[in-house]
Amino acid sequence: MAAIVKPQTTVLTDPMMPVPYRILRVRRETKDTFTFELHSVTGERFPFAPGQFNMLYLFGVGEVPISISGDPAHPEVLVHTVRVVGTVTKALCRLKRGDILGVRGPFGSSWPVAEAVGDDIVIVAGGVGLAPLRPAIYHLLNHRGDYGRVALLYGARTPGDMLYTDELVEWRGRFDIQVEVTVDAARPDEWQGNVGVVTTLIPRAHFDPHHVTALVCGPEIMMRFTILELQKRGLRDDQIYISMERNMKCAVGFCGHCQYGPHFVCKDGPVFRFDRVREIFGKREI
């Protein structure tokens, strides 16, 4: 039976109310990461901007903020890639096709795919950071003519920890996108590609530093060193965009948990233009 939300008698729409979504498909990406394709129980589409996130609710267990990782040109399917890191994500990753979870969103700022029209684009993803970037990649490829050179640089722990391997092969096979992948360590029988930290791919990426926008997502340390390498290639701080992560309870700027200096990561982020957070980025315990 479908989930029903009773209509409120009080006036305002409450951004704290999850809406039911049914799992259409679960795909195991790695040993601890799963991608879910969801459909609204009432058949609604879910338009969103690349980089935004939802709060996913598991009945009686809790809620977690998860980036949307699907194609913004296909709002009839809602896609989320979830990594098991705690209680809620562990329970979430046990769900099967047909199970229902609650969705609130979309929240947050987005990758500057409109502002970057006309630029070269360099995307640097680390680990599960590829998931919030995938909608931007889809958008760029769907509007390929609007952009100059496109380079995707992806670093993962081992070949077994890579996300979206089919799509990486597909993208690499195209003639209009440069795809470079590296892992921290590998066995020679499973891997013929690069081994080394993702920053080593940056000197080899093809782009014009005067007309480029960089989209970076991954662990904070990885982003910090990536930014250094991009700056060495001549990028200014206002050409670099990062995605930050903080504890979230409400996702609407009321609970105070996601504060990052003066910014609320849920409202002012998670995507930030680097020059706007440069002063606090890398400061300890901010």
Out of 241, 264, 272, 274, the residue judged to bind another protein by CB under 8 A: 264
Residue 42 as a binder of another protein (CB under 8 A): the answer is: no
Residue 271 as a binder of another protein (CB under 8 A): the answer is: no
Out of 249, 273, 276, 278, the residue judged to bind another protein by CB under 8 A: 249
Query: Residue count at the site for another protein (CB under 8 A)?
Result: 85
Site for another protein in 162-181 (CB under 8 A): none
Yes or no: say if 119 and 149 are a contact pair by the CB < 8 Å rule: no
Contact partners, residue 53, CB within 8 Å, separation at least 6? 65, 66, 67, 68, 105, 106, 107, 108, 132, 251, 270
Q: Give the Å distances, CA to CA, from 282 to 123, 171, 223, 260, 270.
A: 21, 33, 10, 11, 16
Residue in the block written with tokens 């670093």 = 155
Q: Which is nearer to another protein, 139 or 263 (CB)?
A: 263
Out of 253, 273, 276, 278, the residue judged to bind another protein by CB under 8 A: 253
Which amino acid makes up residue 220? Answer: E
Three-state secondary structure call for residue 198 = helix
Residue 43 as a binder of another protein (CB under 8 A): the answer is: no
Which amino acid makes up residue 241? Answer: Y
Q: Which is nearer to another protein, 214 or 217 (CB)?
A: 217
Residue 144 in tokens = 């390929």
Q: Which is nearer to another protein, 20 or 70 (CB)?
A: 20
**Positive/negative CA dihedral, 33, 286, 110, 44:** positive
Site for another protein in 93-132 (CB under 8 A): 98-100, 102, 126-128
Residue 86 as a binder of another protein (CB under 8 A): the answer is: yes
Residue 252 as a binder of another protein (CB under 8 A): the answer is: yes
Identify the DSSP state of 117.
T
Out of 25, 44, 169, 219, the residue judged to bind another protein by CB under 8 A: 219
Q: How far is the CB of 78 from another protein (least distance, A)?
A: 16
Q: How far is the CB of 118 from another protein (least distance, A)?
A: 29
Contact partners, residue 198, CB within 8 Å, separation at least 6? 124, 125, 126, 153, 154, 155, 182, 218, 222, 226
Site string for another protein, 143-162 (x = CB under 8 A): ------------xxx---x-
Residue 12 as a binder of another protein (CB under 8 A): the answer is: yes
